Each structure stands twice: as C-alpha cells, then as structure tokens.
C-alpha cells in the first residue's frame, strides 16, 4: 500500500501537570492511498524546535511519499542516512524522524489489523505497574505532599515520581533541609509501600556532593530511584555517586540515538535508562536502546510525558521489553492525553494493560490538534 501524504501538525498547549506551563509538540500524520492513517509525535518542547521539526517532517516526507507503507524500517534507514548533514549524532532531525517512524509503525499495524505490541513480537508483560509522574509548584510543601498522597491512596497509583527545580513556589532541590522535609512529608502521604522517585530535572544544578547528600537522605525515606541527579556528561561524578548510593540511579532521557546510548551505558553511570520514543528516533530507535539495556541487565524507562500518541508507543515498548519496572502516566487531566484521543489511557488498580486495537490503538481527534495549532 503506497503512502500518499505526510503532514506535520505543530501544537502549543498548557500542561496542568506542570503548573500550566506552555509546552510544544510536533505531530505527524501519514496517509496511504486507501485512506488509512498513522500518527506519530515528536516531543519538540520549544517554539523554535517545533517549527524546525515541522519543517523537517515536511522535507523528509518527500522521501516517504510513494513508498510501500509496510517498509517502515527501510524508510527509517533512508531518512537517517539522508539527514546526516543536519542530524549527525542527534538533534532536531531525530525529533522529526521519531514522529515519522511512530506514524509508520501505527500505519503498519492499522494496515495489517494488529496492535503494535504484536508487530514488535509480543509482550513480555501485558500489564505494567503505573506511577503518577508530575512536577511540584505550590508553595505549601504539605499541599504538594498531600496531592501526591491522593494519587496513591485515592486513585490507586503504585508510586509517584516528582520533578524538582520547576516553576512555582515549591522550589524543591535548592535547600537541603527543606528538600528532606518535603520527601519525608511525601513518604508519610503515600504510605510505606508506594514507589518514590525523585527527578532533579534540568532546571537546577547539583555538585556531586549535593547529589550524594540528597540521595542518601532521600534513601532514608525509601527512595526507589534518583533521576538525573547530574548532567549526562558528568561521568566521573556519576561513578562517585553510585559508590555511595543504595537506590537505583536513573538517567538517559536526553540521548538521541543508539550510538549515544551505547556510549553512556558503557560508562556505567546508571541502572535505569530513560528513553523518549518521541526523541530517540522513534520506535525503531527505541528498540535499539532496549537491546542495549537488556544486554546489560539494566532497566528501560520510557519518558512518556507528552501526548497520548507517545504514551501508546511507550506502553507497547515497556510491555515488550523484559527490563521495565514501571510505566509513568501524568495523573492530572490534560489536553494532549485526555482530549486528543477517543479512549484516554488510565491505570486501574495501579496497572495498565497493553492496547489491543490495531497500530498504536488510539484514534487521534484532528480537531483537537487544530484547536491547539501553533
Ligand atoms: Mg526525568
């Protein structure tokens, strides 16, 4: 079945799980001559990178139109090969390739009438443990701890992951005593058995001493993992931290491709390898990362913090690999998850099942993309 059109959609939307801050995504719609449609997404994040990603999808699309839609990996190789001039070792070209690749896998599943998890070769886990993944922004530590308590206690999530250093008045990650006080409050609120992940994020910087001190203090509150405590290139600092840490250390979501992942995995800096399918060259790229992770008995963690298209692909990848601990979902209602598709993803009793409909298993509502068009 021949591909007829490749169309980018750039969107700008407020994210309630991040203090309503504006975020940007670039979607890709690929349609075959018989009218079958596949959807992909790139987590392009900023206005300028979103414009660039949309332009690249448009340009790369010229290599895709007219090709057989079932030859998705061959198309991935052709685009990657041709974009070396502006995409060597990652960057915006990888974002555009990600959106096209996810759309091609979705399209293939729809043309063949089978869900993505079966296209990949079958589920290792048909059911994934789910944690609520948000940022904190309110000034009251008690209120923020209680919000996270509700996710576990009232909504059934099996744990929480909290982004530090974000906008608003919480300002976690800056003052040691306050940080420890907050993590204690969160542990009290979520109870003794829930998983607890803390994510330094990218808005603040820690020295290796800051990272060790906080990791050890948070461990006293039952920390499951510490995420991105240091910058990705601080290999020696990561090694020092790991000598002092009892919890898992997570990082990786800023890598672009298998080459980058291989390099940093080989440096032995982390136990949990973050990977965004909307950034790391799509499903085809993420499968290469999974091979590296499985080879070394590490853990794969899909960074699924954008749209339901990304979440659908991420859930399938998490279920496919034998090395996934949890799936993250944004707990508060948000337009790119709950309005965008016909049946939004939700956990039941702390777990989520593999989608069973063909392709990604979601029906994208194009009017929602037009409503948030950028
Ligand atoms: Mg993170």
The pLDDT tens digits for 323-340 are: 999 999 999 999 999 999
Residues in CB range of 32: below 8 A, 6 or more apart: 1, 2, 3, 4, 69, 107, 111
CA of 123 relative to ligand 1 center, distance in Å: 25
CA of 308 relative to ligand 1 center, distance in Å: 18
CATH of the domain at 173: 3.20.20.120
Q: How far apart are CA 264 and CA 280, in angstroms?
A: 14
Same domain, 31 and 108: yes
CB atoms within 10 A of CB 12: 13
**Domains contained in the chain, number:** 2
Query: Does residue 167 carry a pLDDT above 90?
Result: no
E strand or H helix at 11, and its extent? strand 3-15
On whether residue 61 sits in a domain, the answer given is yes
Q: Which domain holds residue 319?
A: 121-353
CA of 229 relative to ligand 1 center, distance in Å: 10
Same domain, 167 and 88: no
- At 94, is the pLDDT very low, low, confident or very high (cuts 50, 70, 90)? very high
Residues in CB range of 365: below 8 A, 6 or more apart: 339, 340, 341, 342
On whether residue 359 sits in a domain, the answer given is no
Give residue 75's pLDDT.
98
CATH of the domain at 102: 3.30.390.10
- At 202, is the pLDDT very low, low, confident or very high (cuts 50, 70, 90)? confident
Beta strands in 16-169 (DSSP E): 21-32, 37-45, 127-135, 159-163
Same domain, 205 and 107: no
Cα separation of the two ends of the chain? 31
Same domain, 245 and 295: yes
CB atoms within 10 A of CB 81: 9
DSSP 133: E
Same domain, 319 and 335: yes
Phi-psi region of 45 (alpha: psi -120 to 50; beta: other; left: phi over 0): left
Ligand 1 (ion): residues with CB under 5 Å are 199, 227
CA of 270 relative to ligand 1 center, distance in Å: 13
CA of 328 relative to ligand 1 center, distance in Å: 11
CA of 302 relative to ligand 1 center, distance in Å: 10
pLDDT above 70 covers a percentage of the chain that reads 100
Residue whose C-alpha is closest to residue 18's, from 244, 199, 248 = 199
Residue whose C-alpha is closest to residue 322's, from 101, 119, 122, 160 = 122
* Residue-by-residue DSSP string for 178-226: HHHHHHHHHHHHH-SSSEEEEE--SSS---HHHHHHHHHHHHTT--SEE
Residues in CB range of 291: below 8 A, 6 or more apart: none
Same domain, 138 and 107: no
Q: How far apart are CA 98 and CA 111, in angstroms?
A: 20
Q: How far apart are CA 332 and CA 352, in angstroms?
A: 16
Same domain, 147 and 264: yes
Average pLDDT in the chain? 97
On whether residue 249 sits in a domain, the answer given is yes
Give residue 166's pLDDT.
85
Q: Give the mean pLDDT of 298-312.
A: 97
pLDDT above 90 covers a percentage of the chain that reads 97
Query: Does residue 300 carry a pLDDT above 90?
Result: yes
Same domain, 92 and 106: yes
Query: Does residue 125 carry a pLDDT above 90?
Result: yes
Burial class, 181, CB count within 10 angstroms (exposed 0-12 / middle 13-18 / buried 19+): middle
CA of 97 relative to ligand 1 center, distance in Å: 22
Q: Give the mean pLDDT of 114-125.
A: 98
Residue 14 dihedral angles phi and psi, to the nearest 5° = -85, 140
* Helix (H) and strand (E) counts in the chain: 13, 12
CA of 5 relative to ligand 1 center, distance in Å: 34
CA of 202 relative to ligand 1 center, distance in Å: 8
E strand or H helix at 148, and its extent? helix 141-153
Give residue 298's pLDDT.
98
Give residue 201's pLDDT.
82
- At 271, is the pLDDT very low, low, confident or very high (cuts 50, 70, 90)? very high
Same domain, 26 and 154: no
CA of 314 relative to ligand 1 center, distance in Å: 15
CA of 360 relative to ligand 1 center, distance in Å: 24
The pLDDT tens digits for 75-88 are: 999 999 999 999 99
CA of 228 relative to ligand 1 center, distance in Å: 6
CA of 66 relative to ligand 1 center, distance in Å: 38
Q: Structure pTM?
A: 0.97
């Amino acid at each position: 079945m021949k591909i007829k059109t490749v169309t980018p959609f750039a969107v700008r939307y407020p994210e309630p799980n991040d203090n309503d801050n504006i975020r940007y995504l670039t979607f890709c719609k690929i349609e075959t001559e018989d009218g079958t449609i596949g959807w992909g997404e790139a987590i392009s994040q900023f206005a300028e990178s979103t414009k660039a990603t949309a332009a690249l999808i448009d340009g790369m699309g010229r290599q895709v139109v007219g090709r057989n839609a079932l030859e998705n990996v061959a198309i991935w190789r052709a685009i990657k090969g041709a974009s070396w001039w502006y995409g060597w070792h990652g960057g915006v070209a990888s974002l555009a390739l990600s959106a096209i690749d996810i759309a091609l896998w979705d399209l293939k599943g729809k043309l063949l009438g089978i869900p993505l998890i079966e296209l990949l070769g079958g589920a290792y886990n048909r059911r994934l443990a789910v944690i609520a993944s948000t940022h904190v922004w309110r000034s009251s530590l008690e209120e923020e701890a209680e919000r996270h308590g509700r996710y576990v206690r009232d909504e059934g999530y099996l744990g929480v992951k909290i982004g530090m250093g974000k906008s608003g008045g919480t300002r976690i990650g800056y003052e040691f005593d306050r940080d420890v006080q907050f993590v204690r409050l969160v542990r009290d609120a979520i109870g003794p058995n829930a998983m607890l992940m803390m994510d330094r994020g990218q808005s603040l910087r820690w020295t290796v001493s800051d990272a060790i001190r906080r990791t050890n203090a948070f461990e006293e509150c039952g920390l499951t993992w510490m995420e991105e405590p240091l910058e990705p290139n601080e290999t020696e600092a990561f090694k020092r931290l790991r000598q002092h840490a009892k919890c898992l250390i997570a990082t990786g979501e800023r890598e672009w491709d298998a080459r980058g992942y291989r390099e940093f995995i080989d440096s032995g800096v982390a136990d949990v390898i973050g990977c965004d399918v909307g950034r790391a060259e799509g499903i085809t790229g993420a499968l290469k990362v999974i091979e590296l992770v499985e080879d070394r008995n590490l853990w794969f963690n899909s960074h699924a913090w954008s749209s339901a298209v990304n979440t659908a692909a991420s859930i399938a990848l998490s279920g496919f690999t034998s090395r996934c601990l949890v799936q993250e979902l944004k707990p508060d209602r948000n337009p790119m998850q709950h309005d965008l598709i016909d049946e939004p993803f939700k956990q039941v009793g702390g777990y989520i099942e593999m989608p069973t409909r063909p392709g990604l298993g979601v029906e994208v509502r194009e009017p929602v993309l037009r409503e948030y068009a950028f």
